[in-house]
Structure 1
Amino acid sequence: MGSVPTSNETSFIRLKEFIAAPYGFKYPELELSTDDAPNRSVTSHSKHILILGAGVSGLMVAWMLLDKGYRVTIIADDWAWNRDFEKSRMTSQIAGALWEFPPGGFGVAEGGHANDGWTKMIHQRQWAVDSFDFYNQYDKIDTDFEKHGRSLGLQMTKLHQFYFDNVVSGGEDEESKKLEALKKVSDERSEFEMGIKTYDSAEKITAQFPNVNNKGEIRQKFTSAYSHRTPIINTDKAMAYLMALVTAKGAQLETQKFVGSIKTFGESLLKDHGADVIVNATGIAAKELAEDDDVFPMRGAVKRIDNTRNGQFRHLNDAYLVPAQKDSLGHVIKSIVIIPRSDDVLYIGSLMQSGNYGNDLTPDSPEVQVMWNRAGEFMPKLLAAGVVPSYPFAQGLRPCTKKNAKVRADEETKFHLVHNYGHGGAGWTLGVGTARTAVAIVEALLGALPDGRTTKALGAKEINEKIYGKRSE
């Protein structure tokens, strides 16, 4: 059994026990170690978990299971790549990885789904808060190996969001309600140090943000804005770190591409590996593997800008977001995202193309040019910036579903199968929270803990109803 850490050790992240709304599911305290050794060593009682998929959703589940003392094998057909820029990155690496309080900035107007489906908004917000808690604690780690998030490529910075309508004075529109919910989180979790600030007029915005074009020359003026502290992840660094960490903690890695449905090969896969549960974290591939017709891609692209104070462009430390929204004429204004990463690269986006599986965009594609011009109209000084020569442009497919993220026990299979996919563009915002839910489902299915203790095993439907309530369909 691994050693029990003392309270003054700083290499541990502790996500506290809580009762989740609205159905009262209990999440036990979860302790993660940033050390190479797992929190709890494998024993003869340890169950074996297979994880399909090696993006952030799969790797976070692996980390949690390993630190609980489970045996873990990760099977994937694609792995994080960091050695050069010739090979395309996986979706978890291309993501801007800016933490946003749900729903994210691309909004319902631009392909987002606020409707209740596999999950409700309350679950997504709980997952996001869990993830913020993880990043916030990680930022405070200061040991010989970890210095305030550097290994993970984490930085805590400010996010500024801008709106045409007044969303900061307690209105009944969705954006106003979202801000009020975020303020409640900030009040209840003072350790997050969110420091929310609001601006309720065009004049205040112009005075506070002189780099932002708010003269009404393009569409109309921004009349409200708000700022808060938020995490940003350097995804290349983070994926390399997570791969190295789970390998050091004992995960076995296998490269294999699956064809067909998990329902047809899952039982034999478990038997071949002597395993007990499959966690499906395959993203877009879940459309075929999970026979889920609700899965669809949301193609995205970013321009990668040199953020090193070279030339006329001055370095940016803060993130800027104009969520997709409608102007005074009822026309949808697409989102603008400006994200400074810890590697002196500025991500400029965002492109949202629903149902497009293509990987054929270039920096000269018309929609990419429009995306760049949109950002330049918002912040004119960007037009003096230059791209990163070695890697100027990135594109990928966000794995979405029409029913929001699916983190559930499969109710149809005779073997234990847990799904964890469909995060859309919010994998790094929701990923810690969804992984924690997936792990809780694994343990509820097994009714056995790594230290040999047993609990009452629950059926898949019972578990899902305890977390999400009864489905209406």
Structure 2
Amino acid sequence: MFSKASTPNFYLELEKNELQLRVGTPSPATPKNERILVIGGGVSGMTSAWALIDQGYDVTIVSERWADRKNRITSQIAGALWEYPPAVCGKHTDAISLCHSKGWAMTSYKAFEQIVTKLGETDGIDHGVRMRTSNFFFDTPLEARPDQLEKWEEICGHSDTIKGLKRSSELIQHHSVDQKAGMKDAYQLQAPTIDTDVYMMWLHFILDCKGATFVTERINGELLAQEEALLSRYDAFAIVNATGLSSLELAGDETVYPLRGAIIRVKNDGTKFPKLTEALAVTHDETYATDEDMVFIVPRNDNILILGGITEPHQWDLNLTVDTPVIKRMRERCNAFVPGLENAEYDDETQLLQGLRPFRGSNVRVERETKLRKDGSDSRIIHTYGQGGSGFSLSFGCAGTVVCLLQEIEASKPPTKMELLNGQLEELKLAC
């Protein structure tokens, strides 16, 4: 599918602790003479690996599975519409994590925009990222939803980066939203949308070209208990744990849990209903008694539209079909939202995709392992997991933090838990 000979010349550079995409001939990164073991082949692990390799580290990535169109991994099933936190699927309750996530999301927005504007399509290599107008609708004025009003005001505070900002109830009529949906307010912005199949395989290709080593294997058991053995086996200096739900076992984190989600894929060629080129979403309102209030209608690419969504905590089974009641209701919500969608035909290749968003009690965890090794020394494990439904939206921001944490290890600084920022929460909010 790709040719190494056509690899575009671009790289990630850490500037003021934020990753920036650069195009051109880079100054050769000073070889670190250190290998980093990244565990996890999803968007968090692969983006971290990209950031590390461009800083001069050798990188080995271990994963049980890789992106594949026939047997998709969780990252390929994601909605992959960039969102300013919290995402439409909600479930973000930790103030410290949320505050960090806002910074990570802005870093990722800039990176995806740079991919679109600086790279485009090079020698037939498509990254799958597009900037699209994204519309968010509400069944009350934002003033009646203080959290959503605050979110909108914060988004407006980034107007130098986020383009196309507009708030108006006229957007409801403009998009022919059915009056029965009861929408009262709306806003729009330009946001990255990602064709996850294309992007994840593009990431694999880029890392292969940059010299990453790929090992197909499943690692079992808590990492801390086998840290020294893994470092020795892979001749590595440090470990990055980006294993999502598997961190329940690998990080010994009993707060990790799944939030089951699903998307329907339909044809978006303009034959059965007017072709949609913009994203349409209704945010899940956690004050409601039901989890079935979310609408998620997003062009995956030029030909496929995805319809969602559901938010089912602690549901591990992947046994849904298009005829499962919760999926039928999901489809009906989308059909009722935009007239004409009821005529949409299923994608010939795949009708339904389902996956488990990796959530945890305190939401996102990007920090060093704070437990000591058996010999009493500091661990050299860095965790990046719990991104939930925001893996793509936070990917470059979290990857930049991973690099910074690795630099702390190299400087022999002691690890610090994210929770220790509690005393600085007001300062942290101001920094957001």
Q: Could you tell me which residue of structure 2 aligns to residue 181 of structure 1?
A: 154
Quick check: 1:257 aligned with 2:218? yes
Aligned AA for 1:58? Answer: G
Matches within 5 A, 1:262-273: 262-273=223-234
Q: Could you tell me which residue of structure 2 aligns to residue 289 of structure 1?
A: 250
Unaligned runs of 5+ in 1: 1-9, 19-26, 448-456
Alpha carbons of structure 1 residues 184 and 194: separation in structure 2 relative to 1, 3 Å: same
Q: Could you tell me which residue of structure 1 aligns to residue 202 of structure 2?
A: 241
Task: String of CA shifts for 1:362-411, please: whole Å, max 9, x gaps.
Answer: 11111100000011111121001101111111111111111011000111
Q: What is the number of residues matched between the two proteins?
A: 413
How many angstroms apart in 2 are the aligned matches of 1:396 and 1:428?
15
Q: Could you tell me which residue of structure 2 aligns to residue 319 of structure 1?
A: 279
How many angstroms apart in 1 are the aligned matches of 2:121 and 2:356?
37
Task: String of CA shifts for 1:211-270, please: whole Å, max 9, x gaps.
Answer: x102xx35xx21111011100000000000001111110111111212211111111110
C-alpha deviation, 1:38, in angstroms = 8.1
Contact 2:221 2:249 in 1 (8 A): yes
Contact 2:85 2:98 in 1 (8 A): yes
Aligned AA for 1:151? Answer: D
Q: Could you tell me which residue of structure 1 aligns to residue 408 of structure 2?
A: 444
Q: Identity over the aligned pairs, expressed in percent?
A: 31
Matches within 5 A, 1:385-404: 385-404=344-363
Aligned AA for 1:61? Answer: S
Alpha carbons of structure 1 residues 283 and 38: separation in structure 2 relative to 1, 3 Å: farther
Q: SS where residue 263 of structure 2 aligns?
A: strand
Q: Could you tell me which residue of structure 2 aligns to residue 135 of structure 1?
A: 112
Aligned AA for 1:213? Answer: D
Contact 1:32 1:39 in 2 (8 A): no
- What TM-score comes out, normalization by structure 2 length? 0.89
C-alpha deviation, 1:342, in angstroms = 2.0
Contact 1:325 1:333 in 2 (8 A): no
Aligned AA for 1:445? Answer: I
Alpha carbons of structure 1 residues 38 and 388: separation in structure 2 relative to 1, 3 Å: farther
Alpha carbons of structure 1 residues 376 and 292: separation in structure 2 relative to 1, 3 Å: same
Q: SS where residue 141 of structure 1 aligns?
A: helix
Contact 2:12 2:54 in 1 (8 A): no
How many angstroms apart in 2 are the aligned matches of 1:330 and 1:280?
35
How many angstroms apart in 1 are the aligned matches of 2:354 and 2:129?
22
Task: String of CA shifts for 1:188-232, please: whole Å, max 9, x gaps.
Answer: xx2x351211114xxx3444222x102xx35xx211110111000
Aligned AA for 1:51? Answer: V
Aligned AA for 2:117? Answer: K
Say what the alpha-carbon RMSD is for the aligned residues.
2.6
Alpha carbons of structure 1 residues 152 and 268: separation in structure 2 relative to 1, 3 Å: same
How many angstroms apart in 1 are the aligned matches of 2:162 and 2:270?
29
| 2:137 corresponds to which of 162, 178, 196 | 162
How many angstroms apart in 1 are the aligned matches of 2:289 and 2:313?
21
Alpha carbons of structure 1 residues 422 and 146: separation in structure 2 relative to 1, 3 Å: farther
Greater share of helix: 2
Quick check: 1:115 aligned with 2:81? no
Aligned AA for 1:195? Answer: G
Q: SS where residue 335 of structure 2 aligns?
A: helix
Aligned AA for 2:387? Answer: H
Alpha carbons of structure 1 residues 75 and 42: separation in structure 2 relative to 1, 3 Å: farther
How many angstroms apart in 2 are the aligned matches of 1:92 and 1:322?
22
Unaligned runs of 5+ in 2: 1-7, 374-378, 426-432
Q: Could you tell me which residue of structure 1 aligns to residue 430 of structure 2?
A: none
Alpha carbons of structure 1 residues 467 and 41: separation in structure 2 relative to 1, 3 Å: farther
| 1:433 corresponds to which of 369, 372, 397 | 397
How many angstroms apart in 1 are the aligned matches of 2:77 and 2:189?
24
| 1:124 corresponds to which of 101, 117, 128 | 101
How many angstroms apart in 1 are the aligned matches of 2:74 and 2:196?
10
C-alpha deviation, 1:76, in angstroms = 1.0
| 2:336 corresponds to which of 377, 383, 397 | 377
Task: String of CA shifts for 1:277-302, please: whole Å, max 9, x gaps.
Answer: 00000001000111101100111111
Alpha carbons of structure 1 residues 399 and 72: separation in structure 2 relative to 1, 3 Å: same
How many angstroms apart in 1 are the aligned matches of 2:97 and 2:398?
13
How many angstroms apart in 1 are the aligned matches of 2:37 and 2:291?
43
Alpha carbons of structure 1 residues 250 and 53: separation in structure 2 relative to 1, 3 Å: same
Q: Could you tell me which residue of structure 2 aligns to residue 337 of structure 1?
A: 296
Matches within 5 A, 1:48-67: 48-67=35-54
Q: SS where residue 105 of structure 2 aligns?
A: helix
Aligned AA for 2:44? Answer: S
Q: Could you tell me which residue of structure 1 aligns to residue 321 of structure 2?
A: 362
Contact 2:260 2:314 in 1 (8 A): yes
C-alpha deviation, 1:114, in angstroms = 2.2
How many angstroms apart in 1 are the aligned matches of 2:104 and 2:84?
10
How many angstroms apart in 2 are the aligned matches of 1:431 and 1:326?
25
Q: Could you tell me which residue of structure 1 aligns to residue 261 of structure 2?
A: 300
Extract structure 1 runs of 4+ deviating beyond 6 A. Answer: 13-16, 329-332, 465-471
Contact 1:57 1:431 in 2 (8 A): yes
Q: SS where residue 394 of structure 1 aligns?
A: strand
C-alpha deviation, 1:139, in angstroms = 1.2
Task: String of CA shifts for 1:136-166, please: whole Å, max 9, x gaps.
Answer: 111111478278xx72200101111111111
Contact 2:35 2:237 in 1 (8 A): yes
Contact 2:76 2:196 in 1 (8 A): yes
Contact 2:108 2:393 in 1 (8 A): yes
How many angstroms apart in 2 are the aligned matches of 1:360 and 1:39?
50
